[in-house]
C-alpha cells in the first residue's frame, strides 16, 4: 500500500464486490475504514459496483453498503471497464467461474477462501492467474493479524528454538444448535467439504506460514447433525429437513517438511472456547 502511495497519490482502485452476505458486508466495512489503519491515500479505494443474485437484492445491498452501482449479473461487473478489483464473497462453488472470468478480463482478484471446491480447481485458478500476471489475494485474513506476524518473526529469529510441534484449534458455534436451518454450506456441490474447507483451511494456511509446508497427514471427518430443518414458511410451518452432506468436525494429524508434527482441529458445532494455537 505504501508503494502505491509513492507511485501515484491520485490513483483509484475501483472495487466490484460479488456477494454481499456476511463476508461481503465485512469487506465493504473494511474498504471504508482501511484509511484509518493503513497509510493509503484518502480516495484510493472506491466501492464502485456490487453484484448479487438478483438485481433487487444487489440494489438494496449497494445502498446499504455504500456502493455507487449494482447488478444482478456478476458477468456485467467483470466486463465493466471501470472495475479494477473483483472481490469474490459469493458461495464457494462460484469462486472458480468468477475468478477465471475476472482473470481473463485482466482484473485484480481478491477471492474469499476456500479458493475452490477441490485442489485441482484451485491449481487451475492459480495457474491462470500466473499466466495472466494479474494480482491476486485469497481471504486468509488471520495471517495478517499482528500477533501472527510477531509469531513469524520470533520463529525466524530462533527466539523459541526449533519448532517441533504446532497445535491449532479453530472451533466455531455457528451451527452448534442442531435446529439451525439448512443452507448452501451443508451441500457438497455448493460448499465442498464442511468445517475442513470453511475453518481448517485457515489453520492449514497459518501452520504452513509459521512452520513449513505439510507433507503428510491422516484425517477424520464427521457429520454430527445429519439433518437440519429447511427454511420455514411465512406462517412458521416447517417445510421438511435437508440432509447435511459435509463434515461438522475435522481432525488432522500432520507432518511438516521440517520434520515437525502437528494436530489441527476444526468444528462448526462447538460450544465454548473458540480458536487458539500453540507452537
Ligand atoms: N475469511 C473469513 O474469515 C471468512 C468468513 C466467513 C465467510 N468467508 C467466505 O466468504 C464467502 C461467502 O460467505 P458468507 O458467509 O458471506 O455467505 P453468505 O451466504 O452470507 O453470502 C453469500 C452472498 O453471495 C450471494 N450470491 C449467491 N449467489 C450469487 C450469484 N450468483 N451472484 C452474486 N452473488 C451471489 C448471496 O445472495 C449472498 O449475498 C464464502 O466463500 C466463505 O467461505 C470467509
Q: What is the pLDDT of residues 119-159, one digit of tens each?
A: 999 999 999 999 999 999 999 999 989 999 999 999 999 99
Q: What is the pLDDT of residue 97?
A: 98
Q: Is the pLDDT of residue 192 over 80?
A: yes
Percent of the chain with pLDDT over 90: 85
Counting from 1 in the atom list of ligand 1, the atom nearest the Cα of 92 is 41
| Sequence-ordered alpha helix ranges (H) in the chain | 2-7, 22-37, 55-65, 74-78, 92-104, 119-132, 146-157, 188-191, 195, 201-210
Whole-angstrom Cα distance, residue 84 to residue 60?
Answer: 23
Whole-angstrom Cα distance, residue 131 to residue 155?
Answer: 33
Q: What is the pLDDT of residue 255?
A: 98
Q: What is the mean pLDDT of residues 50-77?
A: 98
Pocket test for ligand 1, best of 91, 101, 200 (most atoms within 8 A of CB): 91
Closest C-alpha residue for ligand 1 atom 3: 141
Q: What is the mean pLDDT of residues 83-104?
A: 98
186: which residues sit within 8 A by CB, 6+ positions away? Answer: 194, 228, 242, 244, 245, 246
Q: Which long-range contacts (CB under 8 A, 24 or more apart) does 37-41 make?
A: 38/1, 39/1, 39/2, 39/5, 40/1, 40/4, 40/5, 41/4, 41/5, 41/9, 41/10, 41/11
Tell me, what DSSP letter sits at residue 168? E
Q: What is the pLDDT of residue 1?
A: 41
170 close to ligand 1 (CB < 6 Angstrom): no
Q: What is the pLDDT of residue 91?
A: 98
Q: Is the pLDDT of residue 104 over 60?
A: yes
The model's confidence at residue 53, banded by pLDDT at 50, 70 and 90, is: very high
87 close to ligand 1 (CB < 6 Angstrom): no
User: What mean pLDDT is reported for the chain?
Assistant: 93
pTM: 0.93
Residue ranges and CATH numbers for the domains of the chain are 2-139 (3.40.50.720), 142-278 (3.30.360.10)
Backbone angles phi, psi at 174, to 5 degrees: -70, -10
198 close to ligand 1 (CB < 6 Angstrom): yes
85 close to ligand 1 (CB < 6 Angstrom): no
Q: What is the mean pLDDT of residues 20-28?
A: 98
- How far, in Å, from the CA of 93 to the mean position of ligand 1? 10
197 close to ligand 1 (CB < 6 Angstrom): no
Q: Is the pLDDT of residue 272 over 60?
A: yes
Lowest mean pLDDT among 29-38, 93-102, 170-179: 29-38
The model's confidence at residue 7, banded by pLDDT at 50, 70 and 90, is: low
Lowest mean pLDDT among 18-27, 66-75, 211-220, 239-248: 239-248
Q: What is the pLDDT of residue 43?
A: 85
- How far, in Å, from the CA of 55 to the mean position of ligand 1? 17
Q: Is the pLDDT of residue 9 over 70?
A: no
Q: What is the mean pLDDT of residues 72-98?
A: 98
Amino acid at each position: 500500500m505504501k508503494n502505491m502511495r509513492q507511485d501515484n497519490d491520485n490513483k483509484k482502485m475501483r472495487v466490484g464486490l460479488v456477494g454481499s452476505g456476511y463476508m461481503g458486508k465485512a469487506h465493504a466495512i473494511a474498504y471504508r475504514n482501511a484509511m484509518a489503519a493503513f497509510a493509503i491515500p484518502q480516495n484510493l479505494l472506491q466501492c464502485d459496483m456490487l453484484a448479487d443474485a438478483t438485481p433487487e437484492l444487489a440494489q438494496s445491498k449497494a445502498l446499504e453498503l455504500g456502493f455507487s452501482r449494482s447488478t444482478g449479473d456478476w458477468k456485467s461487473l467483470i466486463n465493466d471497464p471501470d472495475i479494477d478489483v473483483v472481490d469474490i464473497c459469493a458461495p464457494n462453488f462460484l469462486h472458480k467461474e468468477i475468478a477465471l472470468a475476472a482473470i481473463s478480463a485482466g482484473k485484480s482478484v481478491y477471492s474469499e477462501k476456500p479458493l475452490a471446491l477441490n485442489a485441482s480447481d484451485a491449481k487451475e485458478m492459480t495457474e491462470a492467474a500466473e499466466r495472466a500476471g494479474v494480482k491476486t489475494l485469497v481471504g486468509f485474513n488471520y495471517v495478517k493479524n499482528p500477533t501472527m506476524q510477531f509469531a513469524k518473526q520470533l520463529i525466524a529469529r530462533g527466539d523459541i528454538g526449533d519448532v517441533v510441534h504446532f497445535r491449532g484449534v479453530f472451533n466455531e458455534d455457528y451451527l452448534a444448535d442442531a435446529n439451525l436451518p439448512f443452507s448452501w454450506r451443508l451441500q457438497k456441490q455448493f460448499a465442498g467439504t464442511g468445517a475442513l474447507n470453511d475453518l481448517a483451511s485457515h489453520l492449514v494456511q497459518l501452520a504452513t506460514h509459521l512452520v513449513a509446508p505439510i507433507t503428510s497427514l491422516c484425517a477424520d471427518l464427521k457429520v454430527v447433525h445429519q439433518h437440519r430443518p429447511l427454511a420455514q414458511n411465512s406462517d412458521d410451518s416447517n417445510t421438511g429437513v435437508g440432509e447435511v452432506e459435509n463434515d461438522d468436525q475435522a481432525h488432522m494429524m500432520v507432518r511438516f517438511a521440517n520434520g515437525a508434527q502437528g494436530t489441527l482441529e476444526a468444528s462448526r458445532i462447538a460450544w465454548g472456547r473458540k480458536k487458539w494455537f500453540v507452537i
